Amino acid sequence: MRLESWFSAAAALGAALAWLSLSNPLTPARAADNPPPKPKPAAAAASKSPARYVGSKKCASCHEENYGRYVKYSKKSRSYRSIRRMQRGLTAAERRDCYRCHTTAYGLPGGFVSLAETPHQQNVGCEACHGPGSRHVKSEDKKDITRQVPNQRCKSCHVSARIKAFHHVPLTYGGAH
């Protein structure tokens, strides 16, 4: 091997070793300069915590047109009125049973508790059909909300026993927006 070739090979080897030591985060010199990224506590906590109900007004800021139609045309947006009309003849237990279908998310995290504590959940709002919105409001990602509402969700309230008891036919396919 000629001396010039040997120096070229040694230089190339030295350059490769230098590049490896700079690009490898496991070398002691690089580990101190470039520690691995730490997980963000808020993001980790958010993914572990259950989604909460936040109220339809949170939806309105991005979905103005849908929210406007919901407020103007949907009886769901005024569903608590039925409880008010009938409350004199109801026991506390019967009234709580009404809350399950005439409010949003009664008994669930962020859902309706009472008019005093959660007035923003007093009617059947967006989240009654689309599920809790806290993650979607934060991320604005369509994957964080139920977009295509399964018919089964409607049938939790719109059942034949209630239709017979209250002498009305609910609009399960009428939509809210």
Query: Could you give the 3-state DSSP secondary structure of residue 143?
Result: helix
pLDDT of 30: 42
Residue-averaged pLDDT of the chain: 77
Residue 175 has pLDDT above 50, yes or no: yes
Q: Is residue 46 part of a domain?
A: no
pTM for this prediction: 0.67
| CA neighbor of 125 nearest in space, from 53, 174, 65 | 53
Question: What are the angstrom distances between the C-alpha of 63 and each of 19, 69, 121, 126, 176?
Answer: 52, 10, 18, 11, 13
Q: Is residue 9 part of a domain?
A: no
Rg (CA), the chain: 29
29-40 pLDDT, tens digit per residue, is 444 454 544 544
Q: Is residue 92 part of a domain?
A: yes
pLDDT of 152: 84
Confidence band for 101, pLDDT divided at 50, 70 and 90: very high
Count up the domains in the chain and report the number.
1
Q: Which domain holds residue 71?
A: 53-166
Vertex 123, ends 136 and 91: CA angle to 5°?
135
| CA neighbor of 101 nearest in space, from 145, 161, 174 | 161
Residue with tokens 């609910």: 170
Q: Is residue 114 part of a domain?
A: yes
Residue 105 and residue 111 in contact, taking contact as beta carbons nearer than 8 Å: yes
58-84 pLDDT, tens digit per residue, is 999 999 999 999 999 888 899 999 899
Q: Is residue 11 part of a domain?
A: no
Q: What is the CATH number of the domain that holds 130?
A: 1.10.1130.10
Q: Label residue 104 exposed, middle or buried (CB < 10 Å: 0-12, 13-18, 19+).
A: buried
Q: Is residue 74 part of a domain?
A: yes
Q: Is residue 15 part of a domain?
A: no
Q: Is residue 95 part of a domain?
A: yes
Structural tokens at position 83: 């409880």
Confidence band for 170, pLDDT divided at 50, 70 and 90: low
107-145 pLDDT, tens digit per residue, is 999 999 999 999 999 999 999 999 999 999 999 999 999
